[in-house]
Every structure is written in structure tokens, then in C-alpha cells.
Amino acid sequence: MVITPSSRIYIAGCGGMLGDAVYKEFSDAHVKATDINLCEPWLSRGDVRDPRGMRESIEAFKPDAIINLAAHTDLEHCEREQEDAWLTNAFGAENLGSIAQGLGIPYVYISTAGIFGGEKEFYNDFDAPNPLSIYAKSKYYGEQYALRSVSKHYVFRAGWMMGGGPAKDKKFVNKIFKQIAAGRKTLEVVDDKLGTPTYTVDFARGIRRLLESGQYGLYNQVCGGSGSRYDVAVEFVRLLGLERTVSVERVSSERFQREYFAQRPASESLVNMKLNQRGLNVMRDWRECLKDYAETYRMVLETA
């Protein structure tokens, strides 16, 4: 599909860190953005667990495509509130996928590198998943539903998401930043978990590129390069210009076992084999992306 100012794009779960970038990426089109968390004036309420409400909201808008970003991404929340996790990540995905199928329009679903079991270091698009946690299992259901039941599907597997800035980023970079902003001089960071950072701005560009290509399918879509949480923290501190005042110390994940009790694979590093082969890979190296992203945080520190 060609995206023009008259294209109608429905984005569910658009109040989060990826939603921020996706909303901006499609700002030249006619967008309806919904979420259960009305953190922006441009959002209206839409709960993906409510099939009837979603159907009415989507059908009234008459979209040309649906992008589903709604999820519970906190792994510990998913272990504690398993029914909510399944209803949001799996049933919600089924609801939106079946509406897209009924309307005969493209459907975008975001899965996760966390569906792999960590038996090896790098996973391509064809490797066999082995989801360990409730989060991973519920997301895996969502992607499988799209692959099997929605003809015009784009399923993207993302890695360690970074984006949205201090107000929206719920993940690693912002957790590190909060410690720095609170005055911590020593950061303890795990070095035994490997993955591929995934910048929301590039990722949103990739969604648009695929939608415009018409090449339906399942795609790994992560930044270039890989590393450990420790590597990301060291680079972030360096980009903030704080390497002399803040030290980053390696620890094993056992150190945070009580707080982060959901099972995580030792490696969830992806390679974008299919995007590369099709010439559709827009993702930059994670260090280059983190450099852009760290600017937001540098400005916060400077004005503090």
C-alpha cells in the first residue's frame, strides 16, 4: 500500500514507548490512536481485551491498516497477573487480528525476541521458538495467530526496546537513567544476558517500509550489533559524558533474582536475515541509535 495523507491507520496500544515513535512516523496520514492509558491528548480509549468495543471503534474508523502495539511488557507483572497477560497479549492480538482479517486489511503485530529459549547466541527468522515466561508464551500465541489466521500480516520480532524518553520508556535505558538522576555513582549491571537493542524510531520506520512494500510475513527487526546489558549501560554512561563520575560494575543475573524473577533466556540476540535479503532493513547499529537517544537524556540532565 502507498501511504498518503488520506491513508487511514488505526493504532492500538499507542500510548507506550513504541507508540510514541509510530504515531510520529505516520503523522502525515490519517491516524486513530487508542490505548487504555490516555497519557496523550491525541489518544482515545480502546481496550484490546474487549472484542466488541474494539470492533465498533475500528469499523467506525474504516482503516486501511491496523497496527497493534498493545501489550503488557513487564515480565514480572505477566507472571503475577497471568490472566491479564493472556487477555492482553494473546486474546487482544486475536481480537485485532480477526477484525483485520474480516475487513481484508493489513495487520501489524509486534512480537519479541524473548520467544526464544537462549540455547544459542543468535536467532534468525527461521529458528524454532521456545518461550520460557508467561510474557513470551502469550506473545508467541499472538504472533502465531497472526501467521495462521490473518492473510495480510506483518509480524515483527523486536529486541530490547529503547525509546520514548524519560516519560514513556519503561525499560532498561530509562531504569539506568533513573539511577543516575538519583545520584548513584556505581551501577550494578548484568553481563550474562545477551540481546539486540531496538530503537523505536528506526523500528517505526521499518513498519512503514514493510507496509509500503506489500511483503507480508514474519520478520526479525532489531538494531545492528548485539551485546549484554552491561555493554549497553557502559555505552549509555559514556554518551552522557559521565564515564569519569559513574562506574558500571558487572554482576550476574542472580544478583537481581528476587526482583526479576521471570525466566529470561541467556541470549535473545536476533539477526534480520529476511529484511536484509529483501533489501528492507532500515535498522541502524544500536550504538548509533543510542547516540541519538542519549541526547534526550543529556538535555534532561543539563536542565536539572
Ligand X SMILES: NC(=O)c1ccc[n+]([C@@H]2O[C@H](COP(=O)([O-])OP(=O)(O)OC[C@H]3O[C@@H](n4cnc5c(N)ncnc54)[C@H](OP(=O)(O)O)[C@@H]3O)[C@@H](O)[C@H]2O)c1
Is 138 or 281 the residue whose CB approaches ligand X more closely?
A: 138
The answer to whether residue 140 forms part of the interface with ligand X (CB under 6 A) is no
The answer to whether residue 92 forms part of the interface with ligand X (CB under 6 A) is yes
The answer to whether residue 18 forms part of the interface with ligand X (CB under 6 A) is yes
- Residue carrying the nine cell digits 550489533: 225
The answer to whether residue 101 forms part of the interface with ligand X (CB under 6 A) is no
Burial of residue 60 (number of CB atoms within 10 Å: 0-12, 13-18, 19+): exposed
Among 9, 10, 11, 19, binds ligand X (CB under 6 A): 19
Number of C-beta neighbours around residue 195 at 10 A: 26
- Which ranges of the chain would DSSP assign to H, the alpha helix? 17-25, 51-61, 75-80, 82-85, 92-103, 134-149, 165-168, 172-181, 200-213, 229-239, 273-278, 286-303
Is-contact 44 50, C-beta < 8 A? Answer: no
Among 57, 88, 269, 272, binds ligand X (CB under 6 A): 88
The answer to whether residue 80 forms part of the interface with ligand X (CB under 6 A) is no
Is 17 or 223 the residue whose CB approaches ligand X more closely?
A: 17
User: How far is residue 239's CA from residue 121's CA, in Å, rounded to a whole number?
Assistant: 27
Q: Which residues contact 256 (CB under 8 A, 6 or more apart)?
A: 190
Give the three-class secondary structure for 298: helix
The answer to whether residue 267 forms part of the interface with ligand X (CB under 6 A) is no
The answer to whether residue 11 forms part of the interface with ligand X (CB under 6 A) is no
Is 43 or 294 the residue whose CB approaches ligand X more closely?
A: 43
The CA distances from residue 136 to 14, 42, 96, 266, in Å, are 20, 30, 19, 14
The answer to whether residue 137 forms part of the interface with ligand X (CB under 6 A) is no
The CA distances from residue 35 to 38, 45, 182, 211, in Å, are 6, 5, 30, 22
The answer to whether residue 160 forms part of the interface with ligand X (CB under 6 A) is yes
Among 25, 26, 33, 35, binds ligand X (CB under 6 A): 35
Within positions 199 to 258, which residues make up the interface with ligand X, using CB under 6 A?
Answer: none
**Site stretch for ligand X (CB under 6 A), options 29-37, 223-231, 233-241, 243-251:** 29-37
The answer to whether residue 25 forms part of the interface with ligand X (CB under 6 A) is no
Q: Which residues in this chain contact ligand X in the complex, by CB under 6 A?
A: 12-13, 15-19, 35-37, 46-49, 69-73, 88, 92, 110, 112, 139, 158, 160-161, 170-171
